[in-house]
Amino acid sequence: MIIVIQCKDQVGLVASISAILAQHQLNIVSMREHVDKPEDIFFMRLEVEDGDGSELEKTLRTVLPAGAMISVNPIPHKKVVVMVTKEYHCLADILIRNFFNTLGATVQCVIGNHDTLKNICERFDMPFYHLSHQEMSKAQLEQNMIDVINQYEPDYIVLAKFMRILSPAFVEKFPMRIINIHHSFLPAFIGANPYKKAFERGVKLIGATAHFVSNELDEGPIIAQQIIPVNHSFTAATMVKAGQEIETAVLANALKLVFEDRVLVYKNKTVVFG
């Protein structure tokens, strides 16, 4: 069982929480905590051996500050919907992990605004919905996507190189539940053609960033990042190839962290208990 707590900091929180768990005969296997001193916020993630957690949240609230956020999570297997455009590398990695039950979640379906990746989904017997942005307005497209998503009631939506900007109305329906992989080490080279911009700038490092989607383009809370060195021998094309490998790795890492309830969001930042 996983317990996640976020609240105002105060003296004795760790002792009080530990005492409550002992009272419920719950043995702590792992405990991680962090305090953001400027914000005066306490964060904690605990793994405990299986036990009766039915009354645990109620009891914890008796020792925690008012307004505390508590999640008592018996490690449910998350459900996700994946959205794509044409690039296959991130989707292929997700489908393989899903097939071998190493994703930490179950992919319910894939939505694409092109049908380019329909074939790979069919090979994995994965439902694929082609919703073309060329045949309808943005509002209608997003409503159709929402209709499909709501059929599956996913915990998270993964943008595996979905190259369309989502409206604030869409994002608002799934707050901090949409995970994007961005082809740049944010905040540098925001927007389109980052590798071309990086090549023209003569950069010596390229990277990728996985983040939650917010209403500000590529400005949502960051979950994971990675960089690799490049040099003058790299072309824009070889940067793209290297970048795709980073994108795949960073997204896989970010999904693992999120699915294991290791990421806590506050304001536009995250606490990540690795």
Active site residues: 218
Q: Please, which residues have CB within 8 angstroms of residue 169's CB and are 6 or more apart in sequence?
A: 142
Question: What's the token pair of residue 70?
Answer: 């508590």
Place of tokens 């505390």: 68
Helix (H, G, I), strand (E, B) or coil at 174: coil
| Burial readout 40-62 (b: 16 or more C-beta within 10 A, e: otherwise) | ebbbbbbbbeeeebeebeeebee
Distance of alpha carbon 109 from alpha carbon 94, whole angstroms? 12
Q: Please, which residues have CB within 8 angstroms of residue 145's CB and are 6 or more apart in sequence?
A: 83, 111, 131, 170
* Sequence-ordered alpha helix ranges (H) in 153-189: 168-173
- How long a stretch of residues is the chain? 274
Residue 90 has, within 13 A of its CA and on its CB side, a CA count of 32
According to DSSP, residue 104 is labeled S
According to DSSP, residue 33 is labeled E
Strand boundaries in 188-238, DSSP class E: 205-212, 222-229
Place of tokens 């992919």: 107
What amino acid occupies position 38? P
